[in-house]
Amino acid sequence: MNKEQLVDSARKIMERAYAPYSKFPVGAALLLKDETVINGVNVENVSFGATNCAERTAIFTAIANGYQKGDFKAIAVAGDTEEYLPPCSICRQVLAEFCSPEMPVYLTNEKNEILELTLRELLPYAFTDLEM
């Protein structure tokens, strides 16, 4: 799967986001090493601390489906924003837990432009278990 297809998957899943408070749907598409794609959306709660981001939804779903640390190949994040939409700091830390620092991260915007980074570029001083 190429990056455009992964971004398209993230954009399509945005429609399923549960964002009644912020009105800000986000979609994520996580590509696994076996070429499986697991999608995630943000799921809000009136108690905002209980909200879960699209990136973590995708990662946690992959783990629940039996995938493990190191099984992640790339992630795309999509939102209808003027600028590229990066993961929040909590999601960046979760990505650092499960993914290689060299894993591609594709950010997009409302114009469908794609910014390609590595996880290391997105989170240069990640707090890790030092086994990465």
Active centre residues (catalytic): 55
- Are 44 and 19 in contact by the 8 Å Cβ rule? The answer is yes
* 99 known member of a binding site: no
| β-strand pairing of 26-32 with 114-118 | unpaired
CA dihedral 115, 103, 57, 17 (to 10 degrees): 20
**Distance from C-alpha of 58 to C-alpha of 34, rounded to nearest angstrom:** 15
- Are 27 and 14 in contact by the 8 Å Cβ rule? The answer is yes
* 91 known member of a binding site: yes
- Residues forming the annotated binding site for Zn(2+)? 53, 88, 91
- Residues forming the annotated binding site? 53, 88, 91
